[in-house]
Amino acid sequence: MKDKLLDYSYKYGALIIIAAVIIVFSVVNENFLSYDNMADILRSISIVTFVAIGVTFSQIVDGFDLSVGSTVSLTTVVVATMMVWYQLPLVLVLTVPLLIGIIIGLLNAFLIVKVRIPDLLATLAVMYIIGGVHKTYTKGFSIYNNMQMQDGTKAPGKFTESFLWIGQGKLLGLPVPVVLMIVAVVVVHIFLTYTRWGRQLYVTGGNREAARLSGISVNRVRTLAYVLSGVFAAIGGILFAARVGSGQIDAGSPILMESVAAVFVGFSVLGAGKPNVIGTFFGAVLIGVLLNGLTMLNLPYYAFDIIKGTVLVLALAITFIHMARRRAS
């Protein structure tokens, strides 16, 4: 009976908690279930979901990418400066951050796959390097319309309406970031579940030596995972800049913890027991619902990290307890 209860809580616990939290907040605040608030929650988690998808890829190959938060910060300020400082066309504004994400992913892969530095240490080092680069690049200033430059003049450019539409506009009655998030989750789920590359990612993460013996190019697969992690973090940076209409130098700092928590919550969704994009999405929903509800209850913002940390601890505890039970059986 106890084992069945534990299995049930592991398989459906995250979904039950999401439903319970929604019910509690909707009872406490009648505006919680309004369309505008639900749309705001989904819009806010879209950025976290993109970044968390990147972390999911690194987790699938039994790695970990701690540099995603700094990647978000770097791409956010790069996007902002390209428009506000240099007045570059939209195609470059969208393309350059993606290239930056690819370069960061390749750097991580080189350090982990070729130099063989443990993933946590390598991506931690890259996180600090990127943090220093983007703060040096902006001289520590956030980027915004009509900002004053160091020579006393005002910045010549501004965020264009076409770019802001990506983060603030609507498509088919839904916020554009929400539509992009849904498309990304569906596409990545199909990629991981039904394609050869997706299966190779899981095989590589499950047993690297067995994957190598079966003819899989393990190093190439692991490199792909870190490149995809960088790309999805870069997309998160683009969405962040488009949503707030400025380039915040520390944009990615809180997103790192939220994305990691979403990934680990996702381990237990429907009993997956492994990194998966559907679980990651529901993990992001849980984080978003919690933070939104606590904001509506006027809880001080500086207490939010306590909630995030608690959710992460619980997710890790449930996941590793279940994994230990499976090994024991």
Please name which of 317, 259, 256 lies closest in space to residue 288, comparing C-alpha atoms: 259
Residues 57/223, Cβ–Cβ less than 8 Å: no
- For residue 156, give the 3-state DSSP assignment: coil
Pick the CATH number of 2-328 from 1.25.10, 1.10.150, 1.10.286, 1.10.3470: 1.10.3470
Give domain limits for the chain: 2-328
The pair of three-digit structure tokens given for residue 320, joined into one six-digit string: 């590793």
**Amino acid at position 6, single letter:** L
Please tell me the predicted confidence (pLDDT) of residue 325. Answer: 66
Tally of CB atoms within 10 A around 128: 12
Residues 260/271, Cβ–Cβ less than 8 Å: no
Please tell me the predicted confidence (pLDDT) of residue 302. Answer: 77
d(CA 184, CA 189): 8
d(CA 160, CA 148): 18
Residues of the chain short of pLDDT 50, as ranges, are none
Please tell me the predicted confidence (pLDDT) of residue 73. Answer: 96
Helix (H) or strand (E) holding 82: helix 68-84
For residue 148, the cross-strand partners are 154
d(CA 203, CA 220): 13
For residue 291, the cross-strand partners are none
d(CA 119, CA 104): 14
d(CA 76, CA 96): 11
Please tell me the predicted confidence (pLDDT) of residue 21. Answer: 84
Please tell me the predicted confidence (pLDDT) of residue 42. Answer: 92
> Tens of pLDDT along 117-148?
999 999 999 999 999 999 999 998 899 998 98
- For residue 174, give the 3-state DSSP assignment: strand
- For residue 220, give the 3-state DSSP assignment: helix
> Tens of pLDDT along 230-286?
999 999 999 999 999 999 988 998 899 889 989 988 887 766 678 999 999 999 998
Please tell me the predicted confidence (pLDDT) of residue 266. Answer: 86
